[in-house]
Structure 1
Amino acid sequence: MALAPHTESGGQRWLVVDTDAGVDDAFALCMALKLAEKSHFVLKLITCCFGNCSVEQVGMNVAKCGPSPSPCRAPLLVAPKATLPGLHACEVPPSLIRVVLGASGPLKQQEASNATHFHGNDGLGDATPPLDAAFLTAIGAVGFGAAVTALRELLAVAKKEGAEVTLVTLGPLTNLASALKEDAELPLLLHDLVVMGCCGNGRGNHGRVTEFNIHADPEAAAEVFARSWPQLTVSSWDLTVFATVPWPRFDQLLRSETQVGKFLAAISQLPYVQKRQTSSCSRGSHQSCWAFLASSVLELCAPVLRHVEHPAGTGFWQLQSQPGAIICDAITMAMVLQPEIILRSRLVHIEVELSGAITRGQTVVDWGTCFDGAHRPKHLRWVEEVDMELFYRMLRETMT
């Protein structure tokens, strides 16, 4: 893999991914592994967090996508002496990317969430064989909490070398919040932060009003959103619900004959094929002929409707919700690699409810429309519309 071109300041653009490695994370990871160089990024570090499954399983799932976890005492930018076994769907030399385990549970003493009901017991649709005993032993040697150390080390090296670091979080924000507690100046070292999480319209995917990643560790999310960042971009559940990949297109992707294509097709069978009619991440195929006709007309009229002015919060993609796969983390990764995919966004203020009996973990958004007299700084970028044609092209390029 060639190094990315230099930035205007003379340094490189480094990418860090924090993941809980479920099925949609795997799409995002494979997209990063395949397209980072083309997008002028060097993928340097992948940190693992509990979420869709246990953090140990997350480490194994990352290895199945490409790189393997590295011993926590290994020098940051030095290749490990041996390659750990795994499927390595993207055929990436492990010497290029460091992978470390992080948080095994939330900041407060509470039971760790999981999403095995959607992602399968292993987090990847129970579609791939388990890794062998040698890998399990290696995972145990990595050590928990290494993610915080690895991130801080990488940022220190980046500062020294003049590199710009972009961090994208695809799971609970525990690793990042833990790093913030150790180093309050950390936001100044990040060029960009992109978060997959939040629910701004009160229609959650985990609780009634909560999105999974935020609900899994509300205190961590509150810590992150309370800080000032050079730029923090939010890819919300609201957005991804309306940025579906229509089933005919998604099924076409699953027919890919490449190694990575076959891997992603296999892990998609449980959540996106078998659960197509029942999962909140897989909009059901049971719809009336009128609903199908309406969604077809909307898709045909997209070029015109895209340029129609709408009242705040009622844009075209929010009016459209055609049956298809919701691949949250892949949309988020696409924003990082190709920022031009973002067609519309606004600056908002976000707070996280920590004590509500029903609403704990809800992200409360100030859109600038309330008149309670409070001044809340709006410095978080909330994405409202994305270019679905570009997103589909990126998925196709990743898989085919």
Structure 2
Amino acid sequence: MPAKTKIIIDTDPGIDDILALLLALSGKAEEIEVLLISLTFGNVEVRSCLRNVVSMFHIMEREMLWRQEQGRPPGFSALQAHRPVVALGAEEPLQDQTMLADYFHGMDGLGGIHASHPHLTPAETWEHLFDPSADPHILKPVPTGIATGSFAHQSFIPSKRLAHEEILQTLRENEPGTVTLIAIGPMTNLALAAAADPETFLRTKEVVVMGGAIGQPGNVTPVSEFNAYADAVAAARVFALTSPMPASTLPPSSSTEPLYPSKLSKELKLRLFSVDITERHSITKGQFQRTVSPFLEAGSPLAEWVGAFMAHAFRKLESMELGHESDNVSLSLHDPICAWYALTADDARWRPTSASPEDIRIETSGQWTRGMCIVDRRNRQRIDSEVESSGDHGLWLSTRAGNRILRMDGSPGEDEFGGILMEKIFA
């Protein structure tokens, strides 16, 4: 039997982020273990992201109780076997102006669900759990039963550390090469962790990133995908760790101190799920409603909760683009594909591009190109050099420099992914 996959999920929940988390936690206990959920700003500000994650655990507890009462398998065995740590992280990008995606996800990140469905949101007594100055005895875990009016943190372990510190601590506590770090939001927490302790950060098995646009248009500017745009400097700094010479691709800095040591023990393995592949994985409004309706009619708390924010997403899509109407309106499942990869990484149908590893770099200073993924499309001879020349500004042609990114291009049954996602989540 393959070894259990251990993962950290760095996220900014977010509609599709929540779907990704539900998918990961619905895995079998012997297949996957979610060690840590680290939170960053992104789709909405980070405190709203935290409320969304806490609400998710609240709903999952209610859902598992409801399933048991109905004589159904409770599901979510990965969650029942291991409670993940939840840590609060970056509130803003390293250098850029903050950009949020509340125009799509709603001001709270889930289509206004906390106002429209307050009975599905736990009382906010949980906020003290993440305050380093709070008395640890204010709230205690409840050993049995499911919280309804107040909140009992049975399904996760709240951390008082900053998210990037918790990422490093998790990597220290596990054997090198055994933890996959999944980044489905801006990469600020990852960049902070890498800068604080590069060698500990490199203990990760691989970093799986949802972000960037290569051959497809961007989704926040004509050339930039949201996660790469929201903190382009952070993305560039993490990407640089895949290079034999990280300094060759790091963004400009006013600091005289090097960000990383000149010699590192290894190069980071980074697997990129850009919009080029994620946009090919989607679910239609009709497909979603056909799956969820029976659970909703039977009284499933999870179906009511997910149905509310997905209805917002489909309405927003209908209003944003021509051709999106009725049951055929389609939501791209950008973030869930990374969780699906974690669950099925041994499947031979997961394929990088034929050109991988690719030298993909993130633009950090262009007026119109912030967050753009730059690749060298010139048919030029590669050279064995560590020094720039007049014909190779930026060391694009050097065999000793540049990033080494595994850009994913093939998956197991992309046309069926929407159905697979719903089946896993609703068991």
Q: State the partner residue of 1:284.
A: 324
Distance 1:103 1:325, change over 3 A: same
Which range moves more in the overlay, 356-365 or 183-192? 183-192
Equivalent residue runs for 1:318-397 within 5 Å: 324-339=330-345, 340=347, 342-346=349-353, 347=356, 348-366=358-376, 374-375=397-398, 377=402, 379-386=404-411, 387-389=413-415, 391=417, 392-397=419-424
Secondary structure in 2 aligned to 1:248?
Answer: helix
1:119 correspondence with 2:119: no
1:248 correspondence with 2:248: no
Distance 1:95 1:242, change over 3 A: closer
Q: Distance in 2 between matches of 1:144 and 1:113?
A: 26
1:236 corresponds, among 274, 291, 305, to 274
Displacement of 1:100 in angstroms is 0.6
Secondary structure in 2 aligned to 1:254?
Answer: helix
Secondary structure in 2 aligned to 1:262?
Answer: helix
Distance 1:114 1:356, change over 3 A: same
Equivalent residue runs for 1:259-278 within 5 Å: 259-272=301-314, 274-278=315-319
Q: Distance in 2 between matches of 1:350 and 1:364?
A: 6
Aligned partners of 2:363 and 2:374 also within 8 Å? yes
Q: State the partner residue of 1:153.
A: 169
TM-score, normalised on structure 2?
A: 0.70
Q: Distance in 2 between matches of 1:195 and 1:104?
A: 20
Unaligned runs of 5+ in 2: 65-78, 133-157, 243-266, 382-390
Q: Give the counterpart letter for 1:238 in structure 2.
A: D
Distance 1:250 1:17, change over 3 A: same
Distance 1:369 1:190, change over 3 A: farther
Displacement of 1:188 in angstroms is 2.9
TM-score, normalised on structure 1?
A: 0.75
Equivalent residue runs for 1:192-203 within 5 Å: 192-201=206-215, 203=217
Task: Give the structure with higher Rg (CA).
Answer: 2
Q: State the partner residue of 1:222.
A: 236
Distance 1:153 1:343, change over 3 A: closer
Displacement of 1:393 in angstroms is 1.8
Identity percentage of aligned residues: 26
Secondary structure in 2 aligned to 1:46?
Answer: strand
Aligned partners of 1:30 and 1:90 also within 8 Å? no
Q: Distance in 1 between matches of 2:422 and 2:377?
A: 31
Q: Distance in 1 between matches of 2:159 and 2:282?
A: 37
Distance 1:135 1:234, change over 3 A: same
Deviation readout 1:301-347 (Å, 9 max, x if unpaired):
xxxxxxxxxxxxxxxxxxxxx85211211112111211228543221
Unaligned runs of 5+ in 1: 67-84, 288-321
Q: Distance in 1 between matches of 2:42 and 2:9?
A: 14
Q: State the partner residue of 1:57.
A: 48
Q: Give the counterpart letter for 2:32 in structure 1.
A: F
Distance 1:370 1:211, change over 3 A: farther
Query: Which runs of 4 or more aligned residues in structure 1 lie more than 3 Å from their structure 2 counterparts after TM superposition?
Result: 85-95, 136-145, 341-344, 366-373
Q: State the partner residue of 1:299.
A: none
Q: Give the counterpart letter for 2:409 in structure 1.
A: E
Q: State the partner residue of 1:309.
A: none
Distance 1:369 1:127, change over 3 A: farther
Displacement of 1:201 in angstroms is 2.3
Deviation readout 1:228-260 (Å, 9 max, x if unpaired):
245311111122222222443233233251443
Q: State the partner residue of 1:104.
A: 91
Q: Give the counterpart letter for 1:331 in structure 2.
A: I
Secondary structure in 1 aligned to 2:360?
Answer: strand
Displacement of 1:54 in angstroms is 1.1
Displacement of 1:50 in angstroms is 0.4
Equivalent residue runs for 1:73-88 within 5 Å: 88=61
1:37 corresponds, among 25, 29, 32, to 29
Q: Distance in 2 between matches of 1:88 and 1:111?
A: 38
Q: Distance in 2 between matches of 1:395 and 1:352?
A: 34
Instruction: Name the Cα RMSD after superposition.
Output: 2.9
Q: Distance in 2 between matches of 1:127 and 1:277?
A: 19
Aligned partners of 1:244 and 1:323 also within 8 Å? no
Distance 1:227 1:153, change over 3 A: same
The count of aligned residue pairs is: 334
Equivalent residue runs for 1:204-219 within 5 Å: 204-219=218-233
Aligned partners of 2:241 and 2:268 also within 8 Å? no
Which range moves more in the overlay, 134-143 or 115-124? 134-143
Distance 1:370 1:241, change over 3 A: farther
Q: Distance in 2 between matches of 1:394 and 1:164?
A: 25
Q: Distance in 2 between matches of 1:279 and 1:94?
A: 41
Q: State the partner residue of 2:155.
A: none
Aligned partners of 1:166 and 1:192 also within 8 Å? yes
